[in-house]
């Protein structure tokens, strides 16, 4: 069967750009408000208030004391709940469609793809890569433990997302800037390196791939084994070898589907159920 030229899911980059610009605007406005300017009705908005992972790290303290961790707002708790609901239904769509830090890694990787061509995203040996992907669960455990015993938002000091949208302020720790720099350089060689190896929120949402309602399913009888779905996947998931994608690293970007890259209609689809 002759392969057809496919386009990316056009809506995803639009949504990604929207949220990136929105968060950037809020971050800049927050700084301007502190200096006596900015947009008044956004004066209370901050990155901490808009981060769903803030809700995750404050669960223990909220359950034991009824209070939130320092700097965490009620909005983070609400966004965490919404994020979980979306993930249970559709998988980690926050990671693949919303997260501004995932977006800037993708943008940086476009340069890497031009520089290294086919070798891009293939620098880390498969055996090493498989092990490294579980590091983010170690980061998650460390963050939850340290936050629980200190009652402070310890992750903010090394959070590259916070550093990205606050690098011009004195609020950012040197460690955060270092992690940000290392991640962006690494994104020239590996697509979404932070997401794959270190993101604690991605680790949490990734678990929903095991039981999500809407799944990415490959129809084996119509599959022509072209491997286009696997090659397109930014998380290096071997989609062409799976009947249903349950990999904990899937970000529900839908780049592997028949609408985006698969040359055979209704072969890699986003559907309800699947065994």
Whether residues 74 and 197 share a domain: the answer is yes
Residue 162's closest CA among 145, 150, 178? 178
Determine if the pTM surpasses 0.95: no
Q: Please, which pLDDT band fits residue 39 given cuts at 50, 70 and 90? A: low
pLDDT at 256 over 50: yes
Whether residues 175 and 234 share a domain: the answer is no
- The range of the structural domain enclosing residue 248 comes to 214-272
Total domain count for the chain? Answer: 2
> Which residue, 185, 208, 231, sits at the end of a domain?
208
Whether residues 196 and 248 share a domain: the answer is no
Assess if residue 3 is contained within a domain: no
Tell me the percentage of the chain whose pLDDT exceeds 70.
92
| Encoded tokens for 95 | 């990671």
> Which residue, 208, 224, 245, sits at the end of a domain?
208
Does residue 209 come out as left (phi exceeding 0), alpha (psi in the -120 to 50 range) or beta?
Answer: alpha
Q: Using CA atoms, how far apart are residues 87 and 85, in angstroms rounded to an integer?
A: 5
> Which residue, 162, 192, 208, sits at the end of a domain?
208
**pLDDT tens-digit profile of 109-142?**
999 999 999 899 989 999 999 999 999 999 999 9
**pLDDT tens-digit profile of 89-100?**
999 999 999 999
pLDDT (0 to 100) of residue 211: 93
Number of Cβ atoms within 10 Å of the Cβ of 269: 18
Helix (H) or strand (E) holding 268: strand 268-272
Q: Using CA atoms, how far apart are residues 232 and 257, in angstroms rounded to an integer?
A: 10
61: phi then psi, degrees, rounded to nearest 5: -65, -35
Whether residues 174 and 263 share a domain: the answer is no
Whether residues 194 and 256 share a domain: the answer is no
pLDDT (0 to 100) of residue 104: 97
């Amino acid at each position: 069967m002759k392969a057809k030229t496919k386009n990316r899911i056009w809506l995803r980059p639009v949504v990604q750009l929207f949220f990136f610009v929105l968060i950037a605007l809020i971050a800049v406005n927050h700084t301007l408000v502190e200096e006596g300017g900015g947009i008044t009705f956004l004066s209370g908005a901050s990155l901490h208030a808009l981060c769903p992972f803030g809700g995750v790290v404050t669960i223990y303290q909220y359950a034991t004391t009824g209070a939130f961790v320092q700097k965490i707002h009620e909005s983070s708790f609400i966004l965490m709940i919404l994020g979980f609901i979306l993930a249970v239904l559709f998988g980690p769509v926050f990671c693949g469609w919303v997260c501004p830090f995932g977006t800037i890694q993708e943008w940086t990787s476009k340069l890497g793809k031009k520089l290294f061509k086919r070798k891009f995203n293939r620098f880390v040996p498969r055996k090493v890569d498989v092990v490294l992907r579980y590091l983010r669960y170690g980061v998650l455990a460390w963050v939850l433990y340290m936050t629980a015993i200190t009652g402070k938002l310890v992750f903010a000091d090394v959070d590259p997302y916070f550093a990205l949208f606050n690098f011009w302020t004195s609020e950012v720790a040197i460690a955060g800037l270092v992690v940000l720099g290392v991640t962006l350089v690494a994104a020239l060689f590996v697509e979404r390196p932070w997401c794959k190896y270190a993101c604690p929120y991605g680790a949490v949402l990734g678990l929903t791939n095991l039981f999500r309602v809407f799944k990415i399913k490959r129809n084996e009888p119509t599959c022509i084994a072209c491997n286009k779905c696997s090659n397109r996947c930014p998380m290096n998931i071997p989609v062409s070898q799976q009947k249903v994608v349950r990999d904990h690293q899937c970000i529900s970007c839908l780049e592997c589907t028949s609408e985006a890259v698969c040359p055979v209609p209704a072969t890699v689809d986003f559907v309800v159920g699947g065994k």
